[in-house]
Chain A
Amino acid sequence: MSGNAAGENGPFSAQALRARWLKARLVKSRRPGRFPGLRGALVFAVFMILAPAAFAQSAKTMLEDPALATRFNEVSDRLVCQCGCQMILRVCNHVNCPSAVPMRQSIEKQLLAGSTDDAIVQGFVDEYGMKVLSSPPATGFNLAAYVMPGFVLLIGLFIAGYVASRWSAKRKLVTASAAPVDVDPDMQKRIDDEIRMDKS
């Protein structure tokens, strides 16, 4: 079952919120108003157009089949909302999001129609490009994204190892006492020193 359909009469429906917004504007207009002229009208027009979609946002998925719901989560974890918020599609919860809602609806429809996860993801890549993926694919230049941190760590380890071996060559072999006693002699000495210094 898909749960994204926009109804007509809900208390949180587009009409209800639009009415609440208009009421708010009416109250405000008794005081000095907002930006006058074209900008205000444009904002209002855009809001009127977007409102029905904006408030019809799903709570992620409403697929009732647990297997499909799990697959929905997996697919939407691989994608990023395209409104600019950069959030993973599954977790994007912007109420006014014109991107996440239709994308999630599309995933639900394709899952119900029997599409594979990879095919659904590929469909989004074809539509939006690689930026729709939450992580770049580990191929071509993008492989560098995954390899570089490990490579830099290895280089660092190599340099640290080389430097440490050079420093070791200068070492003076003084072995710390290692008797397995109740309290380390080193620690006992340090604590004694601290207490003595504190008292002095």
Chain B
Amino acid sequence: MKTLLRSQELTCPSCVAKIEKALTALPGVQEAKVFFNTGRIEVQHDPEKATQQELVQAVRSAGYEARVSSI
């Protein structure tokens, strides 16, 4: 399943690698892609193993607030 998160708080492109690594470190996340300019975070994950809430939590642990978005 693909979940779209949005964050308004990315401040430097090095955040991108940080968030991507934090997300892919979660069990059940196959792929995570962070777009710096728009703050868009695309996550390919197994909702059984990694819930959307856990994704938000992982981004938070890297230091950024994000929320689930439908578009």
> Are both chains from one complex?
no
Q: Which residues of B contact A (CB under 8 A)?
A: none
Q: Which residues of A contact B (CB under 8 A)?
A: none
